[in-house]
Chain A
Amino acid sequence: MFLEGYGPLLLQGTKVTLQLSVLSLLVSFVIGLIGAGAKLSSNWLLRGPATVYTTLIRGVPDLVLMLLMFYSLQIWLNDFTEWQQMDQIDIDPFVAGVITIGFIYGAYFTETFRGAFMSVPKGQIEAGFAYGMSRWQVFHRILFPQMMRFALPGIGNNWQVLLKSTALVSIIGLADVVKLSQDAGKSTFRMFFFTLVAGFIYLMLTTISNGVLKWLEHRYSAGVRSADL
């Protein structure tokens, strides 16, 4: 039988891993854009907290932050509901995982986007304003598309790290591909084999993302002149 009958279960785990990664990527992407905006702002009330956020988050291991946030989120919510004299609200572990990972990698994306925004030549933005565009128009017509070209290698890197760090959610009890492969290994007494399978699934995922990233980089560098020696 395919993987001793554990094939469908592992496939389900892979789906959870992918959903978790993609949703966290979206969260961290949005946080990254906001954070980069704050860090590049001339207002220190925005710049200060954003700098503290990126420094603290990037200086502490993601697993420590996951454990810290994952359990604390629920405790804080309980305190809040008790104070408001409402019924207890249970946070879905999956949602908590997405928020936690998104919040952690938001700090890495903030730095990626900040660097990319700074790489867009000033003249481009000035030209936009000279055409009478509004701030929003300059952002989404000129700044954003060019920024993405510079940000893409960093985004790719962050994605690969994020994807691999989702393996840690099995420690906080989510039924991802690692957790399910360990369960399968325990019940069939074939730990080595099923852990290898989990590793192989991750290798497939990173290989596919590598291919997609290469294609995206090719697409976004349309019109870039490169000289051969």
Chain B
Amino acid sequence: MIGIINYEVGNLASIKNMLKKIEVDSFFIQDSSDFSKATKLILPGVGSFDYGIQQLESKGFMEIMENQVLKEKKPILGICLGAQLLTQSSEEGEKKGLGWVNATTVKFKTQLPVPNMGWNDIKITQENKLLKDFHDIPRFYFVHSYHFKFNEEEQVLAYGNYDYDYACAFQKENILGVQFHPEKSHKFGMQLLKNFSQNL
């Protein structure tokens, strides 16, 4: 059963809708006691970095998430801001990130309009359990002004391109993150969430 962490940052309904469509059971984690019911976690989120961390703090989720993910090794998938929060810091804010992957979040350095909004093809750089079986060049829906910057290439699963290549999906053991929105990327998103629920 996938627990979708509700820390009141962004839209959770679409993730649950898509999981329902692919017949994967899920529920919203409303408080700390709900975490034990989940076998896997999804950390969604749309909004600003500091607000996201602040919400995790004020809901009292920081410690239990650390326990669940780092000690119990439950698979977690961060989506958009949710994935950025897993990095060490962001140029968008002052607060420290969860810091579970060796990366930071930086602002797009480009003359192109920011946010990058729309569908982009992604380039998968290594075989992995999350991004596979797409039967077509995978493309996803993106809306973001900031992106991950990795110190270790081996944690990067895929790159997106907006003026330049940037990491858009990562994995470090049970910790996964994607910059794009699988829940809004029809068949490609369904395949990704299916992979997360079955393979990890």
A-B complex is real: no
B residues with a Cβ closer than 8 A to A are none
A residues with a Cβ closer than 8 A to B are none
